[in-house]
Chains A and B, each alone.
Chain A
Amino acid sequence: DAGITQSPRHKVTETGTPVTLRCHQTENHRYMYWYRQDPGHGLRLIHYSYGVKDTDKGEVSDGYSVSRSKTEDFLLTLESATSSQTSVYFCAIRAGTGTYNEQFFGPGTRLTVL
């Protein structure tokens, strides 16, 4: 257990509404990541953070923004949700150093955009 929680665990929203997902960690890890998981696509990186207020884009960042105002929280925001953003969202932290680039995942948030 890497001490990662995600909230909410499930959310149904309507197209065009803003949505914020929260990832909380208790172990002071520097790196945090947001992924989405869709059938046929595996896990794809949306954004990541390498420290407080330090973030960068991943493979599928369009339509998403992130913020990290304190070490333990990493927020993912959909400014105006679309049906294509219906997915399961996972947060992860990086543990280990150097070559041991191991990531540990939260339980996920299932988001449905109607």
Chain B
Amino acid sequence: TQLLEQSPQFLSIQEGENLTVYCNSSSVFSSLQWYRQEPGEGPVLLVTVVTGGEVKKLKRLTFQFGDARKDSSLHITAAQPGDTGLYLCAGAHNNAGNMLTFGGGTRLMVKP
């Protein structure tokens, strides 16, 4: 099993604070996806990073793929209550099933 360690597991912050979520593995991935999930719904894809060192921005969210394509981070600037949810990273393998390995998730709560 190729593990993807996500940290922290839980994060409770005040509106306006910044935060970073980390996703680490000893395996190299062909790409890495970040998802956000709200209660009672399926995960929703936020971004895909492919190239080592790649940085992508989505409004107040910044995603980075490590140079060696083994790790990634998600940084949220000036968090808002609407950012509350479960954030999942998933590493992609170029294997027969095009499978993803998911991290355990970071549950974020942003208090107004």
Contact = CB atoms under 8 A, between A and B. Distances in A.
Interface of A: 4, 31, 33, 40-45, 48, 50, 56, 58-59, 90, 92, 94, 96, 99-108
B25 interface: no
Contacts, number: 68
A48 B48 CA distance: 21
Q: How large is the interface on B (under 10, 10 to 19, 20 to 34, 35 or more residues)?
A: 20 to 34
Contacts of A40: 104
A100 B100 CA distance: 11
Closest 3 CB pairs of A and B: A105-B42, A101-B92, A43-B102
Given A42-B105, A99-B30, A100-B31, A108 B98 contact: no
A101 B45 contact: no
Contacts of A58: 97, 99
B103 A42 contact: yes
A101 B98 contact: yes
B97 A56 contact: yes
B96 interface: yes
Given A40-B104, A42-B102, A99-B30, A90 B97 contact: no
